[in-house]
Structure 1
Amino acid sequence: MKIVDAKVIVTCPGRNFVTLKIVTDQGIYGIGDATLNGREKSVVSYLEDYLIPVLIGRDPQQIEDIWQFFYRGAYWRRGPVGMTALAAIDVALWDIKAKLANMPLYQLLGGKSRERILSYTHANGKDLDSTLEAVRKAKDKGYKAIRVQCGIPGIAKTYGVSTNTKSYEPADADLPSVEVWSTEKYLNYIPDVFAAVRKEFGPDIHLLHDVHHRLTPIEAARLGKALEPYHLFWMEDAVPAENQESFKLIRQHTTTPLAVGEVFNSIHDCRELIQNQWIDYIRTTIVHAGGISQMRRIADFASLFHVRTGFHGATDLSPVCMGAALHFDYWVPNFGIQEHMAHSEQMNAVFPHAYTFNDGYFTPGEKPGHGVDIDEKLAAQYPYKRACLPVNRLEDGTLWHW
């Protein structure tokens, strides 16, 4: 069996998605997600100019050798562009192999470790009342775990909070927009939000919160301590994680569980965090960390240190990545939770899929492969539109972490 064609499909059914389709001489094909939010065309170029020409003629069943060729064989390793491109290839090859075996991907990985996959959704509001209403709506949909984000008094635009009636989408402008941030106002307000949510909904629902890399380690420790009475499932991305040892200081001061990793690209980004047990959940994604092949290594390594998975699952990942993630979630022994930010009807029409949601849980379906396809004719009706993520400045104008 040989790879005879590979092409990149870019579509924008409400937001930009990049999909790689690999075709074999037996007519079997696989697809992988190559979406990198705000840098989509960079991954397209890397695939088309450097990786795809090397794929043609190779045996698609040699997944490990192909992965090593593109990773170990590259002088310039890692980084979001390269690892996203490699992930697309890897997921497409696993899709092909599972189709060849005529089994769903989770069976090829080793079979399921659970009957259903716990997921969490987003609830956000411009103020406390609308946030409580958003939590109520999510709970009514069956979610047992909800990420809560709330507008902060005195801050015009807050991460995770939509400024219109549509779902939150941070990549909102042709060129980067500028948002203003105040750590003091945020720290003074957020504990009150969770106090109100717990008062309204009680202790049984899982609550999560995304800090989005905004704090210093001691500020994050303060927030974690303040949130302890409300028993969060996790506090996510408390600080920028380039310095992994920052989490050591946070861990020393709070028992609030810590999650991080959606911007990581390899096991080296999280090795110290995991082996020192400074985090509880690793959020590195299949699409940004080299695919299923490397995520298996990260998850296995994490299991040695009581760290569980918690895949990023916002709409900056296509249904292709969601399908692959759910098969991984079904199999991985140290599963924690799966994020779910629902795709629109347009997006789901472009990417028909076998996975299903019911009462707060997902199942990946029994279709051979990862169970997600792409309607190329429909995808062609939605041309690419450049969209950039914002930048952040403090109230005095200092550039800050977005």
Structure 2
Amino acid sequence: MTATHPPKRAETEQSDIASTRIDSAEVLVTSPGRNFVTLRLRTRDGVIGLGDATVNGRELAVASYLRDYVAPLLVGRDAHAVEDTWQYLYRGAYWRRGPITMAAIAAVDTALWDIKAKMAGMPLYQLLGGRSRRGCLAYGHASGNDLDELLDSVRAHLDEGYRAIRIQTGVPGLESVYGVASSSNAHVGRHGTTSRYDHEPARRSSAPVEESWDTRAYLRHAPKVFDAVRAEFGPELPLLHDAHHRLTPIQAARLGKELEPYDLFWLEDVTPAENTSVLRRVREHTTTPLAIGEVFNTIWDYRELFEEQLIDYVRSPVTHAGGITALRRILDYAAIYQIKSGVHGPTDVSPVGLAAALHLGIAIPNFGIQEYMKHSTETVEVFQPTYSFVDGLLDPGAEPGLGISYDDDVAAAHPYSRAYLPVNRLQLDGSMHDW
């Protein structure tokens, strides 16, 4: 009788790798209320992973980057090699960083984590260290053209279960202000019909809408707004505010100082993000917590901010910062300096990107807060998320992987349509301004 021997370990490993190799990489573009780019990877065993690659207003640039340059490199690679694939795509390309490149890498990275967790039969957060909290505190967007409209919006968000709220209002003398749901430019949908601002603040048109801006009017108005909100809702409700990069350092310092009596959870994006060193001036003059980074793409953007402790919250989303692998590195670095996460989460981050942020947020020790704008019904029908929002907390759910499924038939009913966010000009002389 001939003895049979078990397969050698190397042979078994090679067999396992063969079954987990990527068999296909598809780039999916759909517009269920707004435009999204999704990467779908499939292994030879048929396991599917999804990644969000949406860059608002430049969606097709990322789609091309993925379809024409990255997807051909992925077929045949081991889906389990998440770190090696990240390094391959980042270090292997001469042109590094930037929103298009990093969104493409993020989509690949997120899809690979989705596959890995599905193969393990676990929700993704279990592979990131398990739960560190019951749920992720979320904040919503309350806004109004005037104070009465704003206060009604805050009440509506409280009724929906939010326990932290961003406050944005119109400015007297300005017809439309980005970030305000009832602004005159906020309701134009795909075919010129009205639609909720939360779902699509961009206009489907051949060119961006042009809005007017007056910084002095805004600085006079903002403290009055927070005074009214605190008078109505008391001192306990966490309040946030976004300046949308519109201020100079000294203007930002003034705003932060004048808002100190209202105990903001944070003041966000006070100055243009390109010159991070100007936040030293802001920090010198105010103790209002600062959040920044939704337009940052890599850990290198944060080094000076962390080491000099110039900010309190990191705003980068998984989708635009290189994926779960890269954002975890950023947040681990932030934790050294007691800086917390405040991940960007508007509706131009798809449910895939939001789910990835929730799995990361539920696991990391330095979670701060999660932005949460509810997606449209059409978007939910395409992506079918299993995360939940209860009593102010988001939970990623217990499904293996990210907990997102993509419905091709529903997606096909919502073809891509180019859309632009508004641009900003000074009311005084019409010159271009930051937003």
Matches within 5 A, 1:92-103: 92-103=111-122
1:284 counterpart residue number: 316
1:397 counterpart residue number: 430
1:172 counterpart residue number: 203
Q: Is the 8 A contact 1:224 1:254 kept in 2?
A: yes
Q: Distance in 2 between matches of 1:112 and 1:247?
A: 34
Matches within 5 A, 1:120-269: 120-162=139-181, 163=183, 164=187, 166-168=196-198, 169-174=200-205, 175-269=207-301
Tell me the amino acid that sits aligned with residue 88 of structure 2: F
Q: Is the 8 A contact 2:122 2:401 kept in 1?
A: yes
Q: Is 1:48 aligned with 2:67? A: yes
Matches within 5 A, 1:239-388: 239-388=271-420
Tell me the amino acid that sits aligned with residue 247 of structure 1: L
Q: Is the 8 A contact 1:78 1:266 kept in 2?
A: yes
Aligned residues: 402
Q: Per-residue CA shift, 1:225-276, capped at 9, x if unaligned?
A: 0000000000000001211111111000000000001111001111111111
Q: Distance in 2 between matches of 1:263 and 1:35?
A: 13
Q: Is the 8 A contact 1:86 1:290 kept in 2?
A: yes
Tell me the amino acid that sits aligned with residue 168 of structure 2: Q
Q: 1:173, CA displacement in angstroms?
A: 3.6
Q: Per-residue CA shift, 1:69-97, capped at 9, x if unaligned?
A: 00011100000000000100000000000
Q: Is 1:3 aligned with 2:3? A: no
Unmatched runs of 5 consecutive residues or more in structure 2:
1-19, 188-194
Q: Is the 8 A contact 1:2 1:59 kept in 2?
A: yes
Unmatched runs of 5 consecutive residues or more in structure 1:
none
Equivalent residue in structure 1 for 2:109, among 63, 84, 90: 90
Q: Is the 8 A contact 2:124 2:402 kept in 1?
A: yes
Q: 1:170, CA displacement in angstroms?
A: 3.0
Q: Per-residue CA shift, 1:280-339, capped at 9, x if unaligned?
A: 000011000100010111000000001000001100100011111111110011000000
Equivalent residue in structure 2 for 1:34, among 46, 50, 53: 53
Q: Distance in 1 between matches of 2:99 and 2:202?
A: 17
2:39 counterpart residue number: 20
Q: Is the 8 A contact 2:37 2:54 kept in 1?
A: yes
Tell me, what secondary structure is at the counterpart of 1:131?
Answer: helix
Q: Distance in 2 between matches of 1:138 and 1:171?
A: 22
Tell me, what secondary structure is at the counterpart of 1:6?
Answer: strand
Tell me the amino acid that sits aligned with residue 172 of structure 1: R
Q: Distance in 2 between matches of 1:139 and 1:373?
A: 30
Q: Is the 8 A contact 1:173 1:389 kept in 2?
A: no
Tell me, what secondary structure is at the counterpart of 1:384?
Answer: coil
The alignment yields a C-alpha RMSD, in angstroms, of 0.8
Q: Distance in 2 between matches of 1:274 and 1:156?
A: 38
Q: 1:141, CA displacement in angstroms?
A: 1.5
Q: Is the 8 A contact 2:213 2:425 kept in 1?
A: yes
Q: 1:159, CA displacement in angstroms?
A: 1.8
TM-score in terms of structure 2 length:
0.91
Q: Distance in 1 between matches of 2:302 and 2:348?
A: 22
Q: 1:391, CA displacement in angstroms?
A: 1.2
Q: 1:171, CA displacement in angstroms?
A: 1.7
